């Protein structure tokens, strides 16, 4: 007889594992099914985020930034280093240890919360009984087990989008998996796609000495970000970091000849170009992962982007079946996935789970960092919303000066009539940490006046947000 559970969660990324923990906290007998294997072939919980995404990329960004500081910034503090060198295998092994600590930490949390963890691919079997109980097959190699559950939470995440003429082998042509595992700095690195992964991974290897060229199809740069922030970022990334960024390119072919890879493309002027590199990262977006889930067995509905169709409560078209994270609409971000996981567990328990997609913060961990929440200026203009803008530069902030990190600014956008904050955009040091104040403000429907009247510690980077809020009403003090 198959094992029976209250809730089956398929996928143990930040959407699935958090949903499983919250379900267990709420008293449900919960199973979490996940098929991820680490390079040693062992089950590894945490999904894309912990294994080959957020955590390992941030580890490498930190290591490479430390190297960059030691090489180029310490001397301004009077710290002179001789014989500085970078041991890339040590950096990679530090990253692997951080990943292992977190993935095994989730296994420990599962044990603590009495969650049953099953390794293998989970798929709906035909003949779910219309909501009474769902039959799920868990396949691990040639072993198959069937379970049943009253509720199902699908959290199967996403996988890298492939370009048809670019064969990723993760040796020479890399997706995020290979880009996070290089054991030496390539002399020449090509990146297809100037999105979040392209910029973060390009930054890591550029700081460690690679000559990096990023080829972007769109005419603009970081088009999801506020235009002014994107322009500032492009200027800093090209002039200060030395990333070669070309927009409006159309890639026509990729050739691998002996040791080198040739990318053939036309540039913004339509002229034919060739780029020769030693390694090539392909980072052109991610696609929802619904393959092998048995969606067709039960009539699970997908939308026109192949995501699982859900309503604002993450309900699918099937009774008692929910879906969260990268596999559904909304930004592909770990914190969004986790919050949806919590919300669904609480909805199943009859509580009022909810995620506000309008206040999800975005962070890009380049140097300087980029962060935003809410609407951009271009979105407000397109929607015909009247707004006021206030802005303040890090250059005029004492803490930023002491850090030696003075690039960038904070911009606050507020409704012209009500002063309610509609968006906050940041580029500068540690804005990944500063953006939370703006998220809290927006969740509480704050006005720019509210932030302007709150006491901010001195000297702190948060004063830049304070001054930007004051500047909405043209009363910034230190400029």
CB of 52 to ligand FAD, least distance (A): 6
Query: What secondary structure does DSSP assign to 409-463, as a single string?
Result: EEEEEEETTT-BEEEEEEEETTHHHHHHHHHHHHHTT-BHHHHHHS---SS-THH
What distance, in Å, lies between the first and last C-alpha atoms of the chain? Answer: 73
Residue placing its CB nearer to ligand NAD in the complex, 283 or 421: 283
Position 337 contacts ligand FAD (CB under 6 A) = yes
Distance CA(409)–CA(59), nearest Å, equals 25
53 binding ligand FAD? (CB under 6 A): yes
* Among 119, 313, 425, 458, the one annotated catalytic: 458
Q: Are 460 and 399 spatial neighbours (Cβ–Cβ below 8 Å)?
A: yes
C-alpha dist (Å) from residue 230 to 173, 195, 211, 267, 433: 27, 11, 22, 20, 19
- Residues contacting ligand FAD: total by CB under 6 A: 37
Nearest CB to ligand FAD, comparing residues 35 and 346: 35
Question: Minimum distance from CB of 342 to ligand FAD (Å)?
Answer: 12
Residues numbered 155-184 forming contacts with ligand FAD, rule: CB under 6 A = 155-158, 176
What residues between 415 and 434 interact with ligand FAD by CB under 6 A? none
User: Smallest distance, Å, CB 359 to ligand FAD?
Assistant: 14
Nearer to ligand FAD, 156 or 391 (CB): 156
Task: Specify the residue, 90 or 268, whose C-beta has the smaller distance to ligand NAD.
Answer: 268
Distance between CA 111 and CA 120 in Å, rounded?
18
Q: Give 3 or 262: the residue with its C-beta nearer to ligand FAD.
A: 3
Residue 197 is a binding residue for ligand NAD (CB under 6 A)? yes
Contacts for 292 with CB less than 8 Å, ≥ 6 apart: 121, 123
Report what 198 binds from ligand FAD, ligand NAD, none; CB cut-off 5-8 Å by kind.
ligand NAD
Residue 61 binding target from ligand FAD, ligand NAD, none, CB below 5 to 8 Å by type: none
Evaluate whether 359 touches 419 at the Cβ level (below 8 Å). Answer: no
Cα(66)–Cα(63) distance, integer angstroms = 5
Q: What angle do CA 169, 172, 178 make, to 5 degrees?
A: 65
Residue 401 CA, chain-centre distance (Å), reads: 29
Is residue 179 close enough to count as binding ligand NAD by CB under 6 A? Answer: no
> Looking at beta carbons only, is 47 or 190 nearer to ligand FAD?
47
Pick between residue 130 and residue 331 the one whose CB is nearest to ligand NAD.
331
Given the rule CB under 6 A, which of 2-10, 90-98, 111-119, 197-205 is the region that contacts ligand NAD? 197-205
Two structure tokens written together for 207: 């700081």
Is residue 464 at the binding interface for ligand NAD, with CB under 6 A as the rule?
Answer: no
Residue whose pair of structure tokens reads 């100037």 in the numeric block: 194
| The one segment of 61-69, 333-341, 444-452, 453-461 that binds ligand FAD by CB under 6 A | 333-341
Residue 325 CA to residue 351 CA, distance in Å, equals: 20
DSSP for 318-379 reads STTEEE-GGGSSS---HHHHHHHHHHHHHHHTTS-----GGG--EEE-SSSEEEEEE--HHH
339 contacts which partner out of ligand NAD, ligand FAD, none, CB within 5 to 8 A by kind?
none
Instruction: Name the token pair of 149.
Output: 């559950």
Among 7, 8, 9, 12, which residue sits at the site for ligand FAD (rule: CB under 6 A)?
A: 12
Q: Is 452 in the site for ligand NAD (CB under 6 A)?
A: no
Q: How far is CA 239 from the centre of its chain?
A: 25
Q: Please report whether residue 335 would count as binding ligand FAD according to CB under 6 A.
A: yes
Instruction: Respond yes or no: is residue 458 known to be catalytic.
Output: yes
For residue 182, give the nearest of 292, 17, 57, 271 by alpha carbon: 57
Subset of 239-268 contacting ligand NAD (CB under 6 A): 251
59 touches ligand FAD by CB under 6 A: no
Residue among 289 and 391 whose Cβ is closer to ligand FAD: 289
284 binds, among ligand NAD, ligand FAD, none (CB under 5 to 8 A by kind): ligand NAD
Residue 31: which of 58, 11, 55, 59 has the closest Cα? 11
Closest CA to 354 of 300, 308, 315, 303: 315
Residues that bind ligand FAD (CB under 6 A): 10-16, 33-36, 47-49, 53-54, 57, 121-123, 155-158, 176, 197, 289, 292-293, 325-327, 332-335, 337
Residues that bind ligand NAD (CB under 6 A): 163, 192-198, 200, 215-218, 251, 283-286, 331-333, 363-365
| Active site (catalytic) residues | 458
């Amino acid at each position: 007889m198959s094992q029976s559970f209250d809730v089956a969660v398929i996928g143990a990324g930040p959407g699935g594992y958090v949903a499983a923990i919250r379900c267990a906290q709420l008293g449900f007998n919960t199973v979490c099914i996940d098929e991820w294997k680490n390079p040693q072939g062992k089950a590894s919980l945490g999904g894309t985020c912990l294994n080959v995404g957020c955590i390992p990329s941030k580890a490498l960004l930190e290591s490479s930034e430390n190297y960059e500081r030691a090489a180029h910034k310490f001397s301004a503090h009077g710290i002179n280093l001789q014989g500085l060198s970078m041991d890339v295998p040590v950096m990679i092994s530090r990253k692997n240890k951080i990943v292992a600590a977190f993935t095994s930490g989730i296994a420990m949390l599962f044990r603590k919360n009495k969650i049953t963890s099953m390794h293998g691919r989970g798929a709906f079997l035909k003949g779910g009984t219309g909501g009474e109980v769902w039959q799920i097959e868990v396949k691990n190699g040639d072993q198959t087990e069937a379970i049943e559950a009253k509720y199902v939470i699908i959290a199967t995440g996403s996988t890298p989008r492939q370009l048809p003429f670019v064969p990723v082998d993760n040796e020479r042509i890399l997706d995020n998996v290979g880009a996070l595992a290089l054991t030496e700095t390539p002399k020449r690195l090509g990146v297809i796609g100037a999105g979040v992964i392209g910029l973060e991974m390009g930054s890591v290897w550029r700081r460690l000495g690679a000559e990096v060229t990023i080829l972007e199809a769109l005419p603009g740069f970081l088009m999801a970000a506020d235009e002014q922030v994107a322009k500032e970022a492009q200027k800093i990334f090209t002039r200060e970091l030395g990333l070669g960024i070309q927009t409006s390119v159309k890639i026509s072919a990729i050739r691998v000849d002996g040791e080198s890879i040739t990318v053939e493309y036309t540039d913004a002027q339509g002229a034919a170009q060739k780029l020769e590199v030693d390694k090539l990262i392909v980072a052109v977006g991610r696609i929802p992962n619904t393959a092998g889930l048995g969606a067709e067995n039960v009539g699970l509905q997908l939308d026109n982007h192949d995501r699982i169709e859900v309503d604002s409560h993450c309900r699918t078209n099937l009774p008692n079946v929910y879906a969260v994270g990268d596999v559904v609409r909304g930004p592909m971000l770990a914190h969004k996935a986790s919050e949806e996981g919590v919300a669904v567990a609480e909805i199943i328990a009859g509580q009022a789970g909810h995620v506000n997609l309008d206040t999800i913060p975005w962070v890009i961990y380049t140097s300087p960092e980029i962060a935003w929440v809410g609407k951009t200026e271009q979105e407000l203009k397109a929607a015909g919303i009247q707004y006021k803008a206030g802005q303040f530069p890090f250059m005029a902030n004492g803490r930023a000066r002491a850090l030696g990190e003075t690039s960038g600014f904070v911009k606050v956008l507020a409704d012209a009539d009500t002063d309610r904050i509609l968006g906050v955009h940041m580029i500068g040091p540690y804005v990944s940490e500063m953006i939370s104040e703006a998220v809290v403000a927006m969740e509480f429907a704050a006005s720019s006046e509210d932030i302007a009247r709150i006491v901010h510690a001195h000297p702190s980077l948060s004063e830049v947000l304070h001054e930007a809020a004051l500047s909405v009403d043209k009363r910034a003090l230190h400029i």
